[in-house]
Amino acid sequence: MITPEHHVQTLAIHAGRLNNEKLGDIVQPIHVTTTFERNPDGSLKDYGYTRSANPNRQTVENKIAAIEGAATAVAFSSGMAAIAAIFEIVLEPDCHVIIPDDCYHGTRTLLENFLKRWKVSYDQVDMAVVATVEKSIKPSTRLIWMETPSNPQLKIADIQAITQLGKKNNIYTACDNTFATPLLQKPLDLGADFSMHSSTKFFSGHSDILGGIVCVNRADVATQLRGYQGAAGAVPAPFDCWLLNRSLATFPLRFVRQCNNAMVIATYLSTHDKIEKVFYPGLTTHSNHAIAKKQMPNGFGSILSVLIKGGREEAFAFAAKLTIFKHATSLGGVESLVEHRRSAEGNYPISPDNLVRIAVGIEYVDDLIQDLAQALD
Ligand code: PLP
């Protein structure tokens, strides 16, 4: 029997298996049905309607809850749908939210373009400094949203210190854990109410499905999230859940290789004369390296950003000369990508014009280094 005490490599393959698979399939079938026949008395067998629950979704949710060490994981059709669900159940009119100054632009867009209508205000603060977060708390603050490491400047927030602030002031705390994944960091264990993932990224790992996950321990919050998932209906399709379940089996192997590759690349680029700065929490020169080491004891992730000496033109020229790395948005897949972030950040750009984000894949690291070297030359 699989128990929470098993190693993550074992959980990633075996956890979540449902005991209603009567034929003993080793690979779960895809339950593409939207509806399920009822018992003669009208009661449900195991499932009723796929928006409310589906075996493939249930498997994937149970597996991710096991990997994260959470009581409950709730799956959505994208990372943004997962973020919107947390906002929906936590926020109320006239409340205030604190978000990182350097967070995924979609999170900011949701607050700026859609939640202002409900008189939800927000402040963007430098969460690398806990005192700055404390100073921005207002009586109406309802949620502190962390993203650590942040996208794209890899800023590190001290999750434990910030969740303590939340508890002291009766404020919900959530962490976008997409970059770290539960292999490196478990925000719920550090006191957060929500740990959220874009499963489009490392969990999927193959750049072929969108998805979002919210992990929680509190039963009251789990009930609200589950209710919202079924009511709003931004749920992943059974086939996407099947693909995600399959991808999760190799997630620990893939991610360890990605992190190791990223460390080698960050170290290489940090001494390159065409590079002005490397943002990577694994480097001792990172301003919050000590906190990163404390809360991410198993590694520092596979995303780094660099400032190319020069400006926008030099950044684009570098991206264009790469042959293995492709210039495309997103991250977490087996293939290495780069992106000029400022041009991807829509109406609220925050990144310097010479910043290129590097999402490291699982290719042979010497080939990646050679590609970077020829592009910088
Ligand atoms: N959070 C982070 C840190 C991201 O990088 C992204 C997407 O890039 C998202 C959330 C949104 O996820 P999705 O694209 O799956 O909606």
Tell me: domain 251-376, CATH 3.40.50.1970, correct?
no
Give the confidence band of 346 by pLDDT, cuts at 50, 70, 90: confident
C-alpha 216/C-alpha 195 separation (Å) is 7
Max CA separation in the chain (angstroms)? 75
Domain spanning 8-248: CATH 3.40.50.300: no
Residue in 83, 111, 151, 329 to alter for ligand 1 test, most ligand atoms within 8 A of Cβ: 151
Contact predicate 200/79, CB 8 Å: yes
3-state SS assignment for residue 172 = strand
Q: What is the mean pLDDT of the chain?
A: 97
148 lines ligand 1 (CB under 6 A): no
Would you call 321 a catalytic residue per the annotation? no
Q: 176 an active-site residue?
A: yes
Q: Is 189 a catalytic residue?
A: no
Where along the chain do its domains lie?
Answer: 8-248, 251-376
Enumerate residues 6+ apart whose C-beta is below 8 A from 352. Answer: 307, 342
Active-site pick, 57, 63, 142, 201 = 201
Would the CB of 78 count as within 6 Å of ligand 1? yes
Q: What is the mean pLDDT of residues 125-131?
A: 97
Q: What is the Å distance from ligand 1's center to 110 Cα?
A: 12
Mutate which of 145, 146, 178 to test ligand 1's pocket (most atoms within 8 Å of Cβ)? 178
The predicted model gives 48-53 an average pLDDT of 98
Asked if pLDDT for residue 40 goes beyond 70, the answer is yes
Q: What are 148-189's pLDDT values in tens digits?
A: 999 999 999 999 999 999 999 999 999 999 999 999 999 999
- Under 8 Å between Cβ of 162 and 150: no
> 371: alpha, beta or left, given left = phi > 0 and alpha = psi -120 to 50?
alpha
**Interval 268-291 mean pLDDT:** 98
Q: Say if ligand 1 is within 6 A of residue 79 CB.
A: yes
Atom of ligand 1 lying closest to residue 83 CA: 10
How large a percentage of the chain has pLDDT more than 70? 99
- Residue 48 beta carbon below 6 angstroms from any ligand 1 atom: no
Q: Is the CB of 68 under 6 A from ligand 1?
A: no
Look at residues 2, 4, 6 and name the one whose alpha carbon lies nearest to residue 18: 2
Concatenating the DSSP letter of every residue in 309-363 gives SS-HHHHHHHHHH-SSSEE-S---SSS-EEEESGGGSTTS--S-TTEEEEE--SS
Find the catalytic residue in 63, 102, 104, 108: 104
Q: What per-residue string of b and e applies to 111-128 under the rule 16 or more CB within 10 Å gives b? A: beeebeeeebebbbbebb
Q: For residue 104, report the distance from its CA to the centre of ligand 1, in Å.
A: 7
Task: Write down the pLDDT at residue 279.
Answer: 98
CA distance 366 to 370: 6
Catalytic annotation present for 201? yes
Question: How many Å lie between the centroid of ligand 1 and the Cα of residue 79?
Answer: 5
Q: How many CB atoms lie within 10 A of CB 347?
A: 9
Residue among 310, 302, 251, 250 nearest 275 (CA) = 310
Measured from the Cα of 147, ligand 1's closest atom is 3
Predicted confidence band of residue 347 (pLDDT cuts 50, 70, 90):
confident
Strand order in the sheet with 275-279: 275-279, 303-308, 355-359, 337-340, 326-327
Q: Binning pLDDT at 50, 70 and 90, where does residue 21 land?
A: low
Distance of CA 121 to the CA centre of its chain: 24
Taking the centre of ligand 1 as the mean of its atom positions, its distance from the CA of residue 376, in whole angstroms, is 28
C-beta 344 within 6 A of ligand 1: no
CB of 104 within 6 A of ligand 1: the answer is yes
Give the per-residue pLDDT at 77.
98
Q: Which two tokens mark 75?
A: 């799956």
Could you tell me if 181 and 203 are in contact, meaning their C-beta atoms sit under 8 angstroms apart? yes
Q: How far apart are CA 377 and CA 373, in angstroms?
A: 6
pTM of the model as a whole: 0.97
Closest residue by Cα to atom 12, ligand 1, is 79
- The conformation of residue 48, written as its DSSP 8-state character, comes to S
Q: Is the pLDDT of residue 327 over 90?
A: yes
Q: Which amino acid is at 128?
A: A
What is the structure's pLDDT at 20?
Answer: 66
Inform me whether the pLDDT recorded for 113 exceeds 80: yes
Buried b (16+ CB within 10 A) or exposed e, 6-22: eebeebbbebbbeeeee
